[in-house]
Amino acid sequence: MTRLPPSLLPIAAIFVLPALVLADGAGDATWRELSDVHLNVVPRTQEERARVAAIAAAPTDFSVPWPFEENSGGAQTVRARGTADAFSQPAANLTFAQELDFRVGNGMFRRLWVSAPASTLASDGLGPLYNARSCQRCHLKDGRGHPPEGPDDTAVSMVLRVSVPAPDPAALEHYIKGAHATVAEPTYGTQLQDFSLPGHAPEYRLAVEYEEVEVPLSGGEVATLRRPTYEAADLGYGPLAADAMLSPRIAPQMIGMGLLEAIPVEEILARADPDDADGDGISGRAQVVWSDVHDRPMLGRFGHKAGNPSVLEQTASAFAGDIGISNPIHRAGSGECTDLQTDCTAALDGSDPEQGGFEIDQVGLDLVEFYSRTLAVPARRDVGDPEVLRGREVFFETGCSSCHQPNHVTHRLDGDDPASFQLIWPYTDLLLHDMGPGLADNRPEGRADGREWRTAPLWGIGMTETVSGHTNFLHDGRARSLLEAVLWHGGEAQAARDAVMDLPPVDRAALIRYLESL
């Protein structure tokens, strides 16, 4: 019988919330008061808390499938399709009216935006600088993006984030205590755009070179990693600031976002151990970011460094930064253009009085948000396969589950919210972890430093090739296989990575087989 690590013992303790203060001037509010404000939460009773603790406690018998683990997204789970549409299905528990909203939101997610002025007033306002013409162009089939493969491959599903250190943190609006003080790069903003409308120069071209690195494994096996070097080439508006910090990011998969949003903040915080008080080498930290919608600090959940607090704000920032579309949260008609890009800021935009003066109004934004929140997670495959069962045991034995927390129970939400009170299996703690120098981008974001990343959810990861046509993983797609992704882990995950390297080859193969079943 395998002994479970402390992170997987019954979770009755998760409801003891640390009374931590988020930010100077925040009214001495606790994280819970600030982070769940956007959800219509029905408080759990003591009886319900006991039920949750019992349901979410991981079984100790690794010889058989565990109850409900096949249903990765709880009642939202759909059957696993063997086609590229596997990530594009509506949650299984939507009402008829909600499925209509999902379909309309899908149409807007796929909409190709055009430059203003245009006869299609509801679809104009693209750019002037942009990374893609639609949400779908980055998140093709709602799946994972990839880095450019050769000079003829555009980086449409990959962006380069940029920032510079703030000269005076105290002067920053909405500065959060404990955050790394950064501001937009003066000329290029917070994200480099590689496409532009006629008459405007694109900001850059992403160039990537790789160095092949051999890694010896037990049993005489050898893996080959590729170490990337990135260059912002062909800069269209002059040099970057000398202290500019760049971070490449591929578009993440879209499934299960509403379920991740509904995980109680106190459950996430209870697993945080920023000072490694238990001495296990794992010191996950909570990301805290400013919410423009709620005008207060909130727990960060979305993005590779958990830089957005909600699906709504993630959606709005993508419209502005990736497509150049103004909305009620990001109001500039010129999108990411900076004050130094005067032709760009002076260009005609697609703001429409019938849409509140924006290029997409709140109704449209809400529909795309609803679509993004209710994309279903496919069911697990082969849960009873003996090799998969052995791989699951290896996953726990090597310590992978310390950060990739298997299951959660979502909030009970008022009304007919499809994310309400679901046992889900996303395999993430939604915390920030130091992943070592190999994966460091050296660009802080909020409370995340240049070596920290949010634990990526693993549900659906085994269907990446089916949906996206490739097997590129990690924040920049450098890993060409699940094994390569594991071998890039360092920092807090170094011990788990070393354990995987030292496994008998048959157990290492079983681990990968297990990940492919998720």
Q: What is the pLDDT of residues 76-103, one digit of tens each?
A: 999 999 999 999 999 999 999 999 999 9
What's residue 11's pLDDT? 30
Residue 179, classified by CB atoms within 10 Å of its CB into exposed (0-12), middle (13-18) or buried (19+), is buried
What's residue 34's pLDDT? 52
Measured CA to CA, the distance from residue 91 to residue 96 in angstroms comes to 11
Q: Rounded mean pLDDT of 280-296?
A: 93
Percent of the chain topping pLDDT 70: 93
> Got the DSSP string for 293-309?
TTTEEEE--BSTT--BS
Quick: pLDDT tens for 391-410.
999 999 999 999 999 999 99
Under the banding of pLDDT at 50, 70 and 90, the label for residue 35 is low
What's residue 120's pLDDT? 83
Quick: pLDDT tens for 313-369.
999 999 999 999 999 999 999 999 999 999 999 999 988 787 788 999 999 999 999
3-state secondary structure 94-138: CCHHHHHHHHHHHHHHHCCCECCCCCCHHHECCCCEECCCCHHHH
Looking at residue 192, what DSSP letter applies? E
Task: State yes or no: pLDDT of 249 exceeds 70.
Answer: yes
Under the banding of pLDDT at 50, 70 and 90, the label for residue 236 is very high
Quick: pLDDT tens for 453-488.
999 999 999 999 999 999 999 999 999 999 999 999
Q: Which two tokens stand for residue 53?
A: 């603790």
Under the banding of pLDDT at 50, 70 and 90, the label for residue 22 is very low
What's residue 44's pLDDT? 86
Task: State yes or no: pLDDT of 17 exceeds 80.
Answer: no
What's residue 12's pLDDT? 30
DSSP helix/strand/coil, 321: helix
> Got the DSSP string for 475-515?
TTS-BSSHHHHHHT--GGGHHHHHHHHHS-HHHHHHHHHHH
Under the banding of pLDDT at 50, 70 and 90, the label for residue 39 is confident
Measured CA to CA, the distance from residue 479 to residue 124 in angstroms comes to 37
Q: Per this entry, what is the length of the chain?
A: 518
Q: Rounded mean pLDDT of 40-51?
A: 88
Measured CA to CA, the distance from residue 476 to residue 451 in angstroms comes to 14
Q: Rounded mean pLDDT of 119-129?
A: 90
What's residue 366's pLDDT? 98
For the chain, helix (H) and strand (E) counts, in that order, are 14, 14
Q: With contact defined as beta carbons under 8 Å apart, do 494 and 436 qualify?
A: yes
Quick: pLDDT tens for 142-181.
999 999 887 777 767 999 999 999 988 888 888 988 899 9
Percent of the chain topping pLDDT 90: 80
Q: With contact defined as beta carbons under 8 Å apart, do 339 and 132 qualify?
A: no
What's residue 23's pLDDT? 37
What's residue 26's pLDDT? 35
Looking at residue 344, what DSSP letter applies? H
What's residue 456's pLDDT? 98
Task: State yes or no: pLDDT of 3 exceeds 60.
Answer: no
What's residue 27's pLDDT? 34
Output phi, psi for 366, to 5 deg.
-65, -35
Task: State yes or no: pLDDT of 16 exceeds 80.
Answer: no
